[in-house]
């Protein structure tokens, strides 16, 4: 027995005293799909053959060497990520991360042909794929408006893009035998105080209705709609606000996507999960980390991440929650960014699954809030890291201290020569 196994045995004994079975926790954890956001690898640039700058309320800063310049390069990077992250991974694409361009075909005409190698790659690795239409970094995002633009011709272009990406998602889902989550986020909004907030919202709703009028079997594809408080250059009004999309999702039985960077800085999405599941249904989480604003920093194992994971995992409705990472930092090694964030997501979920929730609930039900508080603090010192190391060990995944060696070697051999 090596020291990882010994430490696991002792930790199991301690957890059992609290009524927790770590073996069961690991079994649940390894089945929770976490969708790795491919856009950390290319700085949300995409692989279309026209010059695009990131427009539409998000920003990437930094120019660390080694950005993936093609879908092929990104897949090689993701292969390393998959080797360093335990559990069940999926990969989520943006609609401009095409394999190839076809002359004369713009975003409104993309088909599975544009994403064929992604599909084959995922099939070989037996992983699921998710996708999101890309309503930004394109000349048709006119004055910052896409699906809510006053000109029907512009709206039509974006409606067709939405439909095209849903069909591609459905194809992913059919072939990979797991539904692709297709997330709709539109940057539409106003920099300064609008005279009319109503008409754009009506237009956005109608455009979405048109996109979703094409019925797709949920065994293949699931739609999500993502709200936002504000973006860079869209400080005064976002058409797709939280209220707008909460209503839209509830009325149309779509997943609401909650991005942890899309609310007021002191507002946590963790508290929202139980309310939404209790009243409506399914949630796509875009797990991010805002620093003062929606800055999309790499997610760390901080209180915010722990509470999101806790609220997602302890009530037994994990099947209603879909996890997707969403951040992009180009000032550090992009693979380190993806791996660190993905492992932190897994760690937060593990800590949640190791929580003695029944004991806490019993104290709460008896209004013994002192005991509940004492226990909440006490469990912070339980030996979850022994369970984590064992979890990585049985999956043949390097431990926390070894991952940077692998990433550095790859950086020297692959990233530095790009
Ligand atoms: C933007 C949204 C959206 C993006 C991706 C790249 O604020 O969070 O999900 O991060 O489209
Ligand atoms: Zn997001």
Active site residue 185: yes
**Residue 238 Cβ contacting ligand 1 at under 6 Å:** no
Catalytic residue among 39, 158, 185, 384: 185
Do the bridges between strand 283-287 and strand 255-259 make them parallel or antiparallel, or are there none, so unpaired?
Answer: parallel
Q: What pLDDT is stored for residue 273 in this prediction?
A: 98
In order of 150, 154, 241, the CA distances from 195 in angstroms are 14, 21, 17
Q: Which residue CA neighbors atom 7 of ligand 1 most closely?
A: 58
Paired residues of 285 in beta bridges: 258, 323
Q: Which residue CA neighbors atom 1 of ligand 1 most closely?
A: 58
Nearest residue to 46 via CA among 114, 127, 120: 114
Q: Which residue CA neighbors atom 2 of ligand 1 most closely?
A: 185
Active site residue 303: no
Ligand nearest to the CA of 44: 1
* CA 41 / ligand 1 centre spacing (Å): 14
- Taking the C-alpha atoms of residue 268 and residue 287, their distance in angstroms, rounded to an integer, is 12
Q: Is this prediction's pTM over 0.75?
A: yes
**Residue 326 Cβ contacting ligand 1 at under 6 Å:** yes
Catalytic residue among 254, 286, 311, 355: 286
Q: Looking at 18-100, list the stretches that DSSP marks H as alpha helix, in order from N- to C-terminal side.
A: 22-29, 71-84
* CA 305 / ligand 1 centre spacing (Å): 18
Q: What pLDDT is stored for residue 289 in this prediction?
A: 97
Q: Quick check: 245 and 256 in contact, CB under 8 A?
A: yes
Active site residue 138: no
- Neighbouring C-beta atoms of residue 194, cutoff 10 Å: 14
- Taking the C-alpha atoms of residue 206 and residue 155, their distance in angstroms, rounded to an integer, is 10
Q: What pLDDT is stored for residue 1 in this prediction?
A: 78
Active site residue 262: yes
The CA-based angle 34-328-388, given to 5 degrees, is 40
* CA 39 / ligand 1 centre spacing (Å): 9
Q: What pLDDT is stored for residue 55 in this prediction?
A: 83
From 35, 259, 287, mutation site for ligand 1 pocket: most ligand atoms within 8 A of C-beta:
259
List, for the chain, all residue ranges whose pLDDT scores fall below the cut of 70.
none
Residues 6+ apart with CB under 8 A from 70: 47
pLDDT digits 0-9 by tens, 230-250: 999 999 999 999 999 999 999
Residue 189 in tokens:
């909004």
- Taking the C-alpha atoms of residue 308 and residue 310, their distance in angstroms, rounded to an integer, is 5
Q: What pLDDT is stored for residue 101 in this prediction?
A: 95
């Amino acid at each position: 027995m090596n020291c990882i196994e010994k430490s696991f045995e002792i930790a199991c004994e301690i957890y059992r005293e609290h009524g927790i079975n770590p073996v069961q926790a690991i079994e649940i954890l390894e089945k929770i799909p976490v969708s790795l956001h491919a856009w950390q690898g290319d700085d949300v640039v995409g692989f279309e053959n026209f010059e695009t700058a990131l427009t539409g309320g998000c920003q990437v800063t930094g120019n660390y060497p080694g950005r993936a310049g093609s879908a092929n390069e990104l897949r090689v990077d993701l292969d390393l990520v998959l080797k360093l992250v335990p559990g069940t991974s999926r990969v989520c694409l943006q609609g401009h991360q095409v394999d190839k361009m076809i002359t004369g075909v713009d975003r409104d005409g993309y088909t599975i042909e544009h994403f064929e190698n992604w599909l084959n790659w995922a099939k070989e690795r037996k992983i699921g794929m998710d996708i999101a239409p890309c309503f930004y970094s394109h000349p048709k995002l006119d004055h910052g408006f896409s699906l809510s633009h006053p000109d029907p011709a512009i709206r039509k272009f974006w409606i067709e893009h939405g439909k095209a990406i849903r069909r591609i998602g459905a194809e992913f889902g059919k072939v990979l035998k797991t539904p692709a989550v297709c997330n709709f986020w539109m940057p539409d909004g106003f920099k300064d105080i609008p005279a009319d907030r109503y008409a754009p919202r009506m237009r956005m709703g109608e455009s979405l209705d048109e996109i979703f009028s094409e019925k797709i079997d949920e065994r293949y594809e699931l739609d999500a709609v993502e709200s936002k408080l504000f973006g860079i250059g869209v400080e005064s009004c976002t058409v797709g606000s939280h209220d707008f999309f909460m209503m839209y999702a509830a009325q149309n039985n779509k997943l609401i996507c909650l991005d942890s960077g899309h609310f007021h800085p002191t507002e946590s999405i963790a508290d929202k999960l139980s309310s939404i599941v209790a009243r409506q249904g399914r949630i796509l989480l875009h797990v991010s980390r805002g620093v003062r604003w929606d800055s999309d920093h790499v997610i760390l194992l901080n209180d915010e991440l722990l509470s999101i994971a806790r609220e997602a995992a302890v009530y037994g409705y994990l099947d209603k929650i879909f996890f997707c990472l969403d951040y992009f930092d180009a000032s550090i090694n992009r693979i380190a960014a993806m791996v660190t964030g993905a492992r932190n997501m897994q760690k937060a979920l593990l800590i949640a699954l190791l929580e003695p929730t029944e004991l806490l609930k019993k104290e709460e039900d008896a209004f013994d809030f002192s005991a509940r508080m004492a226990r909440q603090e006490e469990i912070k010192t339980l030996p979850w890291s022994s369970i984590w190391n064992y979890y990585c060990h049985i999956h043949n995944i390097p431990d926390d201290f070894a991952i940077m060696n692998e990433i550095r070697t790859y950086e020297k051999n692959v990233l530095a020569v790009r």
